[in-house]
């Protein structure tokens, strides 16, 4: 009589013993035209337990920051790419073990819980009569940039007071907190300042310096600005617009508009409508160059430049020509909130056929905006300033704004650029025309 041996991998009980394969953490698809990222920081350390869907690492792209979640429960067994390293789509970032390592960690966690169970129960009983405080932790109320900066500089984010909306902690708050600390702490918390070497010789100027790593977004902004100046035949033309009619219309209609739509009508919706009207009249400004061809766009995706903590971003209002004043205002408000909260998605920044930038909110009187490639036109708004102007032979004080249009002279002639800006001026000075042509 013969006795059959169990299959390889089976125990004597006849149950197959399978070894769990580690789960790879890879760089996901980053969005249209984005192929590289920088590892901003790891949210977990090697040996930490992770849950499926929990963020384990934060990546920084030239457009947005994004968190990479764990696909399965387990233990972060290995980190293969460190903070500050550049990575590409599909690169391996780390490994998650789902087998014995995860079980051992869970057992250790359970043991710790059992050992501390009695004191914890007493603590719960002691605090039972205390009212609950649902206020979120400061770490949750901090922007991603602020959290990363605090981690890099060794700052306890919970000690930082937030001056942002709803008490949100921003990068500037972290900076101010660091500056308010004693000099000895500032040196230890940053990689700049007057730092002594082993031989006692100071590094940098003894009066103090701060060295900051240039973010991927800032690097990309720098590269694109230089690229725009080197590849495009960029010129700028100027004009001025009398905003009396727009301001009177806003003053007259804002109460009913706000009651109906829940928000005030701002200047950006007027300028967006005026730009669309001018683009329809001069379509070369709504185009781009691809090789030796000119691609004319028959849709109007208007980029609105917004200043963020780490640099300028340009979220896009899509199909703006099909939107009402209220819809444009609501969309711009939504995008601006996303910028401040650090929640912009790649799709919010994708594409764009023409850009509007408003330096007036910072007090700029006149500037020459730089093109946002591959776009061939950008309109610069500036501060509204009351100035004496001649009206039908009389001198009147009017709310005036300088406008600047930068354009790519390779496909836009000076005549078209000047006429485009004149068209924008006409539509703003007679806003009733926006209903017909905008």
Q: Is residue 62 annotated as a catalytic residue, yes or no? A: no
Q: Rounded to 5 degrees, what angle do the CA atoms 245, 376, 271 make? A: 15
CA 179 to CA 185: how far, in whole Å?
Answer: 10
3-class SS of residue 279: helix
Q: Which residues contact 108 (CB under 8 A, 6 or more apart)?
A: none
Give the pair of three-digit tokens for residue 316.
């896009």
Give the pair of three-digit tokens for residue 130.
């205390």
Strand partners, 36: 88
Output the CA torsion 69→72→74→77 (10° steps): -60
Find the catalytic residue in 86, 110, 156, 413.
413
CA atoms within 13 A on the CB side of 180: 10
Give the pair of three-digit tokens for residue 370.
């730089």
Q: Is residue 7 annotated as a catalytic residue, yes or no? A: no
**Cis amide leading into 258 (omega within 30):** no
Place of tokens 């969309």: 331
Active-site positions read 409, 413
């Amino acid at each position: 009589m013969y006795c059959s041996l169990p299959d390889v991998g089976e125990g004597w009980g006849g149950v197959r013993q399978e070894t769990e394969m580690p789960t790879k953490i890879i760089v996901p698809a980053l969005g249209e035209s984005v192929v590289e990222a920088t590892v901003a920081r790891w949210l977990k350390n090697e040996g930490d337990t992770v849950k499926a869907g929990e963020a384990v690492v934060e990546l920084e792209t030239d457009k947005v920051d994004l968190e990479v979640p764990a696909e399965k429960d387990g233990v972060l067994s290995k980190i293969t790419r460190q903070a500050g390293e550049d990575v590409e789509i599909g690169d391996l970032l780390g490994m998650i073990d789902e087998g014995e390592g995860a079980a051992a960690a869970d057992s250790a966690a359970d043991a710790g819980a059992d050992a501390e169970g009695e004191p914890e129960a007493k603590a719960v009983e002691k605090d039972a009569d205390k009212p609950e405080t649902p206020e979120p932790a400061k770490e949750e109320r901090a922007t991603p940039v602020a959290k990363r900066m605090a981690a890099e500089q060794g700052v306890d984010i919970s000690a930082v007071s937030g001056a942002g909306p709803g008490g949100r902690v921003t990068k500037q708050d972290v900076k101010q907190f660091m500056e308010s600390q004693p000099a000895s702490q500032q040196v230890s918390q940053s990689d700049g300042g007057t730092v002594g070497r082993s031989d006692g010789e100071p590094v940098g100027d003894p009066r103090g310096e701060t060295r900051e790593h240039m973010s991927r977004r800032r690097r990309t902004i720098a590269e694109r600005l230089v690229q725009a100046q080197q590849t495009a035949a960029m010129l700028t033309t100027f004009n001025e617009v009398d905003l009396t009619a727009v301001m009177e219309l806003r003053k007259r209609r804002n109460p009913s508009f706000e009651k109906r739509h829940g928000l005030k009508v701002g200047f950006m919706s007027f300028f967006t409508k005026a730009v669309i009207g001018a683009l329809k009249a001069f379509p070369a400004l709504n185009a781009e160059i691809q090789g030796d061809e000119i691609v004319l766009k028959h849709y109007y995706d208007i980029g609105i430049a917004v200043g963020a903590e780490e640099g300028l971003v340009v979220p896009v209002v899509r199909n703006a020509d099909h939107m009402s004043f209220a819809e444009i205002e609501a969309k711009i408000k939504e995008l601006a909130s996303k910028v401040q909260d650090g929640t912009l998605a790649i799709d919010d920044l994708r594409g764009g056929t023409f850009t509007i930038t408003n330096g007036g909110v910072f007090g700029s009187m006149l500037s020459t905006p730089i093109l946002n490639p591959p776009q061939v036109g950008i309109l610069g708004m500036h501060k509204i300033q009351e100035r004496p102007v001649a009206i039908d032979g009389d001198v009147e004080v009017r709310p005036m704004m300088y406008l600047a249009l930068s354009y790519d002279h390779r496909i836009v002639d000076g005549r078209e650029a000047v006429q485009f800006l004149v068209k924008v001026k006409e539509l703003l000075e007679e806003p009733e025309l926006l209903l017909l042509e905008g």
